[in-house]
Amino acid sequence: MTALQGYVPGRHKVEDYGNGGFRFADMSHRGSIMAMPTGVRAIAPAAWNEIDAATIEQALAESGELDLFLVGTGKDLMPLAAPLRARLRDAGVGCETMSTGAAVRTYNMLLDEGRRVAALLIAV
Q: For 69-89, what is each residue's pLDDT tens digit?
A: 999 999 999 999 999 999 999
Identify whether the C-beta of residue 9 lies closer than 8 Å to the C-beta of residue 111.
Answer: no
Q: Residue 5's pLDDT is what?
A: 64
pLDDT at residue 3 tops 90? no
Average pLDDT (22-40) is 94
Q: Is the pLDDT of residue 4 over 70?
A: no
Domain 3-121 is found in CATH 3.40.1230.10: yes
Q: pTM for the complete prediction?
A: 0.93
